[in-house]
Amino acid sequence: MEFYGEIKLDKEDSQHLYIQLYKALKTLILKDNIKGDQRLPPIRKLAKALSINVVTVVNAYDILEKEGFVYKKIGSGTYVSPQILGSKEKMIGVPEEEGFSLIDQGYIQVGENMINFASATPMPELFPVADFKAVLNEVLDRDKGYAFGYQESQGYYPLREILKKYIQSYGIDTEIDNIQVISGAQQGIDLIAKGILNYGDTVIVESPSYTGAIAAFRSRGAKIVDIALEEDGILLEELEKKIIIHRPKLIYIMPNFQNPTGISYSGEKKQKILEICRKYQVVVVEDDYLSELNFYSMNNQTLKAIDVHQQVIYIKSFSKIFMPGLRLGFLVIPSRFYDQLIVAKHSSDISTPGLLQRAFALYLEKGIWQGHLSYMEEQYKERFDCMVQSLKREMPKEVQCLLPKGGVNFWLTLPQGISPKKLYEEALKENIVFAPGHLFFLGKEDFGQLRLSIAAVSKDEIEVGIEKLGKIISKLLIKESKKKESFEHYKPIL
């Protein structure tokens, strides 16, 4: 009980007491103040010592257990997990509270006149509302009550039929039976976690990666291992090495215009990844969230298109190029996983709303889709080009950016000494928001990076916003070099 003194709880704080306690204990565990297999104080004792409610302690211990920091022995108490210590690859059950993709979800309070580089989802002004309204009404007149009955779990058959044709045009050949309609890509990831992962299985992800995917895998009790990205994809040697050590069940990657980095994998690397994963029987999960927005890349082929051995589960989202609030997407599933995934879908939400599936099927059937896609490509390309020009023009040369060849995300690395969090604060004063890079790393490490997205900003906003950001960074650079000077100034004479 010697660590009591270090726990400071603030009853006036807006954060729940149990969250405060959980965080304090987690810090003690991570700092190694409480050792592996050491017993935590009995609930009542700790509650008394800290003058808090018993339930508060119960809840804090529960979260720690969920995150794998402690384990419980029935009738004996709560103990610190030994395996968590000394390992950076934590097995944790729920995502960190902070940075849990809250930005993507609109939790950053974006005011009326703010320039929003944080959101990677398109502005509602771009949505084809009139066309979609027309197909909705047509479906209602045609199908009446049947549009609101239960839909089969696999998805509305005519929709799967036309989706098969749609991906054929992207070089993916599949059977209708291998297509599973999902309520958005996030659900696709969750179903894969549910259907394929066992508790304690390992999953490999890119570093940095999409936090929503990591959350879904963690929620199944998966251990997450990450692999660094270079210009043309993840490091292959690291991949093979980590596969041998960790024996992962699956790998989750975004080979085209990766989120958050914008990187695209080379054709050779795509091929090699399939070979390595085949050798070690690792399932490949490909998240294709916007391969359509291919402006300057020679090769935006999906892994699924070259998947001759049926190793790839393909996730297709329409949130970035159509309308995110529809919550519609689909999976292409190799037959051997089929049963597991349909059971996972059924036990998750039975089926995706039939009305929306029927309307989207009609929308695709009528050929309105192609026109919309061209329009979105045009809109995005204009912004994309504007962003490239603005970055080249406005950013101090110390800022690094590997320019992407498509998509909506730009990944910047700030010069040493300039913190993205500081930049975030300064930018906010100028009504600009973006996504700090630490949000996308497993351990929320800060490598001085940030993601700028062009999905929710106009051309004018890009020009103004990047100019302002460039100026803020320049100012911070001057301050930084002054700090160095003054440090040198006060250097003791040896």
Query: Scanning residues 222 to 261, which ones bind a second copy (CB under 8 A)?
Result: 247
- Report if residue 144 touches a second copy, rule: CB under 8 A: yes
Q: Report how many residues bind a second copy under the rule CB under 8 A.
A: 78
CB 96 within 8 A of CB 19: no
CB 26 within 8 A of CB 61: no
Which of 60, 115, 136, 433 is the binder for a second copy (CB under 8 A)?
A: 136
Q: Which is nearer to a second copy, 66 or 468 (CB)?
A: 66
Which of 32, 232, 268, 349 is the binder for a second copy (CB under 8 A)?
A: 349
Q: Which is nearer to a second copy, 209 or 300 (CB)?
A: 209
**In angstroms, what is the minimal distance from the CB of 207 to a second copy?**
19
**In angstroms, what is the minimal distance from the CB of 263 to a second copy?**
24
Which of 36, 77, 158, 353 is the binder for a second copy (CB under 8 A)?
A: 353
DSSP assignments along 329-398, one per residue: EEEE--HHHHHHHHHHHHHHHSS--HHHHHHHHHHHHTTHHHHHHHHHHHHHHHHHHHHHHHHHHHS-TT
Please name the helix (run of DSSP H) or strand (run of DSSP E) that holds residue 215, with its range, or none: helix 211-219
CA 308 centroid distance within chain: 28
**In angstroms, what is the minimal distance from the CB of 196 to a second copy?**
9
- Report if residue 354 touches a second copy, rule: CB under 8 A: yes
**In angstroms, what is the minimal distance from the CB of 66 to a second copy?**
6
For 11-32, letters b (16+ CB in 10 Å) and e give eeeeeebbebbbbbbbebbeee
Residue 406 tokens, joined: 């498509």
Q: Which is nearer to a second copy, 199 or 296 (CB)?
A: 199
Q: Which is nearer to a second copy, 15 or 389 (CB)?
A: 15
- Residues 51-90 interacting with a second copy (rule: CB under 8 A): 55, 58-59, 62, 65-66, 74
**In angstroms, what is the minimal distance from the CB of 123 to a second copy?**
7
- Residues 315-334 interacting with a second copy (rule: CB under 8 A): 323-327
CB 476 within 8 A of CB 432: no
Q: How far is CA 314 from CA 261, 284, 330, 355, 394, in A?
A: 20, 8, 8, 24, 38
- Binding pattern for the stretch 451-470 against a second copy, x by CB under 8 A and - elsewhere: --------------------
Q: Which is nearer to a second copy, 74 or 493 (CB)?
A: 74
User: Hey, CA dihedral for 227, 445, 433, 411, is it positive or negative?
Assistant: negative
- Binding pattern for the stretch 178-217 against a second copy, x by CB under 8 A and - elsewhere: -----xx-xx--x---x---xx------------x--xx-
- 156 burial (CB, 10 Å; 0-12 / 13-18 / 19+) is buried
Residues making up the chain, counted from first to last: 494
Which of 180, 352, 449, 453 is the binder for a second copy (CB under 8 A)?
A: 352
- Residues 290-319 interacting with a second copy (rule: CB under 8 A): none
CB 380 within 8 A of CB 408: yes
Which of 148, 296, 375, 447 is the binder for a second copy (CB under 8 A)?
A: 148
**In angstroms, what is the minimal distance from the CB of 451 to a second copy?**
17
- 276 burial (CB, 10 Å; 0-12 / 13-18 / 19+) is middle
> Would you call the peptide bond into 415 cis, given omega within 30 degrees of 0 as the criterion?
no
CA 82/CA 319 separation, integer angstroms: 41
**In angstroms, what is the minimal distance from the CB of 472 to a second copy?**
28
> In a 3-state reduction of DSSP, which class is residue 262?
coil
Which of 105, 374, 389, 481 is the binder for a second copy (CB under 8 A)?
A: 105
**In angstroms, what is the minimal distance from the CB of 187 to a second copy?**
4
Query: Residue 252 gets which letter from DSSP?
Result: E
> In a 3-state reduction of DSSP, which class is residue 317?
strand
**In angstroms, what is the minimal distance from the CB of 169 to a second copy?**
24
Q: Which is nearer to a second copy, 228 or 245 (CB)?
A: 245
CB 336 within 8 A of CB 195: no
**In angstroms, what is the minimal distance from the CB of 244 to a second copy?**
12
**In angstroms, what is the minimal distance from the CB of 314 to a second copy?**
18
